[in-house]
Amino acid sequence: MKWLACGTLGAKLKRRIMMSVRGLMNKERVTRGVTVGHIMTADVVTVEMDDTLHSVREIFDNTCFHHLLVVNDKRLLGVISDGDLLKALSPHLGTAAETLRDLASLNKRVHQIMSRNPVTLSSSASVYDAVSVFNEEKISCIPVVDDGLVIQGILSWRDILKALEKKCKQ
């Protein structure tokens, strides 16, 4: 499918990369003064619980995002990934074998497949803390929120790798 064309890595490979990054990171030298707020993606695309998977698929088809945050009144309720969507949709969509039942899978709602109560961090958390979360949890993004669960951004392991590369070049 088109929305997977942006490139994805397997979960095991992601964990190995993040463990390697953690090993490379001298907490005092590389991450000094760098917080999650410095490297997160602040422009976040959100969906609501009652949005259809058709609308989620449209977003993934037209962007290179891999995660959407599920909100109600700007407060975080969950996360939906391109992998969640892939599992929920019929593999026959867009093929000669497509049936009405396959098309009906696009009418499911976000709340039916989203991951609830995601692990979050504050923007003041250290990058080292974020690496630890990625290593301990089986997740590929961390929503960044304030104390009221209002979204401030999103952090992926790619954001950490970009920041590490930038810091090491200095």
Q: Residues 52, 70: contact at Cβ < 8 Å?
A: no
> Would the pTM of this model clear 0.95, i.e. be above it?
no
Q: How far apart are CA 129 and CA 109, in angstroms?
A: 33
Per-residue model confidence (pLDDT) at position 21? 61
CATH number of 10-169: 3.10.580.10
Instruction: Give the residue-averaged pLDDT of 149-154.
Output: 95
Is residue 18 within 8 A of residue 135, CB to CB? The reply is yes
Contacts of 138 (CB under 8 A, 6+ apart): 11
Q: Is the pLDDT of residue 109 over 90?
A: yes
122: CB partners within 8 A, 6+ apart = 36, 144, 145, 146, 147
Tens-digit pLDDT profile for residues 77-95: 999 999 999 898 877 777 7
| Contact present, 108 and 88 (Cβ < 8 Å) | yes
Domain boundaries defined on the chain = 10-169
| Banded model confidence at residue 2, pLDDT cuts 50, 70, 90 | very low
Q: Is the Cβ–Cβ distance between 101 and 89 less than 8 Å?
A: no
Q: What's the burial of 161, exposed, middle or buried (CB within 10 Å: 0-12/13-18/19+)?
A: middle
SS3 of 77, please? strand
pLDDT at 20: 60
Q: Find all residues with CB under 8 Å of 14, minimum gap 6, and list them.
A: 134, 140, 157
Report, as an integer, the average pLDDT of 124-139. 92
Q: pLDDT above 90 covers what percent of the chain?
A: 56
115 CB neighbour count, 10 Å cutoff: 14
For the residues 12-30, what does the mean pLDDT come to? 58
The pLDDT of 48-60, averaged and rounded, is 94
